[in-house]
């Protein structure tokens, strides 16, 4: 950004000017497009025409959102192993695709009666062949719409001993059948608002309906359900009515063709048991961490191994922005408004290297508009949404600028500013920030996550 002067590490500040806003703006437009294309976990399938002929009108509306991301074999194997020492006789796999999850459980229990369900017939050949080659003795496949509230009535084999499922992740248009599915699964509390209802939660509920009391479910969920503040109700609903045994944090690219960050949740239906929950993390070399055990209140908060591991090791020495009395505000200027602005606006493209300060322009007169969030000397600026947000942390050494809605302004009492800035921008701080971000492609840092992030004092 024009007029920005960089300060060497905590030395001279980088100066922000209005002119170079253009480049930064272009970058952010690409970035917004990226969010739009990737937030639905990848491209939607366009196979509607050929399939809709024989489906109900309701199902036909949704065949464009099949989300056919298939599970890698290592993930299926981990899921089957973590199902524990049970002796199931029947299994159901909703949204089976080519059967990666069914295959994994049949390898462990070859005598299972397996029922697979998928709306898309294209996968049936490969699915059946794969299960046969694994020596499956009893396999039933049904082409059904899993978002049909009558689903259990179409599956004579229910209730099942185990359910495995990797559902599609998307938000279907609201239908009254969804309320019936959630009620029947006694899972309505998981979605306090209609806008919380997603395909993955409805698949979760359908699985709960199909498994016998005391049966085991191993379900893949997007990271947001396992870690997000907005999914507290979902986690509480599971923990209050069922026994959540294990949550496994998976690496990106666990599913062919998508970077989506996901978890496997393993639970026993019914019998809410106050025992501790086991957390694991698989890394991108498929290595599985040691187990970490957390209690139920901690599990309601979030279920990622990375977060709890970081918290545990730093419980004594660490501090949080919340404890320092930080006020965190999100910027208000959109990238479109920024283009027309007659005053300096700081954006994600304007950050110097981590640990460097920035000198904002000296603005003659006052900023007009109560909606603006203005950064001033001493404020810490951080990217809120960005592919590399953990690298975008600076502190204003002089001047003033409005900030875009892709940024947070962190304002602290003077005596804590430098301590907080050094901790946030250190290699350790940036790694901790990265661990609590979520999203596909572009990452997102939640305000709560930032306020409660454990930070280490730096020299
Ligand atoms: C993410 S893929 C998972 C495939 C497979 N279970 C795996 O793990 O490799 C989701 C699957 O759900 C199926 N599906 C999506 N919506 C469905 C619906 N409403 N009813 C039935 N199947 C559906 C898709 O056809 C696709 O095979």
* Ligand 1 binding pocket mutation candidate from 66, 116, 145, 207 (most atoms within 8 A of CB): 66
Percent of the chain whose pLDDT exceeds 70: 81
Q: Are residues 227 and 271 in the same domain?
A: yes
Give yes or no for a cis peptide into 159 (omega within 30° of 0): yes
Could you tell me which of 221, 212, 210 has the C-alpha nearest to residue 254?
221
Q: Are residues 25 and 80 in the same domain?
A: no
Q: Are residues 325 and 308 in the same domain?
A: no
The reply to whether ligand 1 has any atom less than 6 angstroms from the CB of 141 is: no
The reply to whether ligand 1 has any atom less than 6 angstroms from the CB of 269 is: no
- For residue 52, what pLDDT is reported? 36
The DSSP letter of residue 238 is H
For residues 82-101, give the mean pLDDT: 95
The reply to whether ligand 1 has any atom less than 6 angstroms from the CB of 337 is: no
For residues 228-249, give the mean pLDDT: 94
Question: What sections of 163-267 are H helices per DSSP?
Answer: 176-184, 199-210, 223-227, 232-241
Q: Are residues 227 and 260 in the same domain?
A: yes
Would you say residue 183 has pLDDT above 90?
A: yes
Taking CA 436 as the corner, what is the angle to CA 219 and CA 383, rounded to the nearest 5 degrees? 130
Q: Are residues 69 and 189 in the same domain?
A: yes
Range of the domain at 426: 5-37+319-451
Global pTM value: 0.64
C-alpha of residue 335 to centroid of ligand 1, in Å: 36
Q: Are residues 304 and 326 in the same domain?
A: no
Would you say residue 364 has pLDDT above 80?
A: no
The reply to whether ligand 1 has any atom less than 6 angstroms from the CB of 115 is: no
Would you say residue 458 has pLDDT above 90?
A: no
Atom nearest to 62 CA in ligand 1: 19
Task: Give the model confidence (pLDDT) of 132-151 as tens digits.
Answer: 999 898 999 999 999 999 99
The reply to whether ligand 1 has any atom less than 6 angstroms from the CB of 79 is: no
Q: What is the mean pLDDT of the chain?
A: 83
Question: What sections of 109-198 are H helices per DSSP?
Answer: 124-133, 176-184
For residues 269-286, b (16+ Cβ closer than 10 Å) or e, as one string?
bbeeeeeebbbbbbeeee
The reply to whether ligand 1 has any atom less than 6 angstroms from the CB of 147 is: yes
Q: Are residues 118 and 267 in the same domain?
A: yes
Atom nearest to 93 CA in ligand 1: 6
Q: Are residues 359 and 294 in the same domain?
A: no
C-alpha of residue 66 to centroid of ligand 1, in Å: 6
The DSSP bridge partners found for residue 37 are none
The reply to whether ligand 1 has any atom less than 6 angstroms from the CB of 148 is: no
For residues 170-192, give the mean pLDDT: 95
Among 88-92, 117-121, 209-213, 317-321, name the one with the lowest average pLDDT. 317-321
Report the number of distinct structural domains present in the chain. 2
Q: Are residues 105 and 26 in the same domain?
A: no
Residues with Cβ < 8 Å from 441, sequence gap 6 or more? 34, 35, 38, 259, 387
- How far is the C-alpha of 154 from the C-alpha of 90, rounded, in Å? 16
- How far is the C-alpha of 74 from the C-alpha of 54, rounded, in Å? 35
């Amino acid at each position: 950004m024009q007029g920005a002067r960089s300060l060497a590490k905590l030395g001279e500040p980088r100066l922000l000017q209005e002119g170079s806003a253009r480049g930064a703006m272009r970058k952010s437009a690409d970035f917004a497009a990226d969010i739009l294309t990737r937030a639905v976990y990848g491209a939607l399938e366009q196979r509607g025409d050929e399939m809709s002929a024989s489906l109900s009108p309701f199902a036909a509306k949704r065949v464009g959102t099949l989300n056919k991301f298939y599970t890698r074999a290592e993930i299926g194997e981990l899921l089957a192993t973590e199902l524990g020492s049970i002796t199931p006789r029947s299994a159901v796999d909703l949204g089976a695709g080519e059967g990666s999850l069914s295959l994994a459980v049949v390898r462990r229990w070859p005598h299972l009666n397996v029922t697979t369900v998928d709306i898309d017939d294209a996968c049936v050949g490969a699915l059946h062949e794969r299960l046969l080659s694994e020596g499956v003795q009893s396999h039933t496949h049904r082409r059904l719409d899993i978002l049909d509230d009558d689903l259990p009535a179409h599956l004579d084999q229910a209730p099942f001993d185990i359910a495995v499922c990797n559902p599609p992740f998307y938000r279907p248009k609201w239908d009254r059948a969804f309320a019936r599915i959630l009620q029947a699964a006694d899972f309505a509390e998981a979605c306090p608002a209609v806008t919380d209802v997603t395909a993955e939660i409805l698949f979760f509920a359908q699985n709960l309906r199909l498994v016998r009391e005391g049966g085991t479910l191993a379900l893949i969920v997007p990271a947001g359900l396992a870690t997000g503040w907005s999914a507290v109700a979902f986690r509480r609903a599971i923990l209050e009515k069922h026994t959540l045994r294990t949550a496994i944090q998976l690496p990106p690219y666990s599913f062919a063709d998508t970077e989506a960050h996901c978890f496997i949740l393993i639970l026993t239906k019914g019998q809410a048991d106050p025992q501790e929950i086991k957390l694991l993390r698989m890394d991108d070399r498929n290595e599985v961490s040691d187990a970490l055990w957390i209690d139920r209140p901690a599990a309601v908060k979030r279920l990622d191994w990375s977060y709890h591991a970081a918290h545990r090791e730093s419980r004594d020495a660490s501090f949080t922005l919340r404890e320092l009395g930080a006020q965190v505000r999100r910027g208000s200027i959109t990238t479109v408004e920024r283009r027309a602005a007659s005053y300096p606006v700081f954006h994600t493209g304007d950050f110097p290297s981590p640990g460097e300060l920035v000198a904002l322009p000296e603005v003659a007169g006052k900023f007009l508009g109560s909606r603006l969030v203005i950064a001033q000397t001493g404020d810490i600026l951080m990217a809120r949404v960005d592919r590399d947000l953990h690298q975008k942390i600076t502190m204003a050494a002089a001047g003033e600028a409005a900030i875009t809605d892709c940024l947070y302004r962190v304002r602290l009492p003077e005596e804590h500013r430098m301590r907080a800035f050094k901790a946030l921008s250190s290699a350790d701080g940036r790694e901790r920030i990265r661990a609590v971000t979520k999203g596909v492609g572009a990452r997102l840092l939640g305000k709560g996550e930032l306020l409660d992030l454990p930070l280490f004092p730096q020299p």
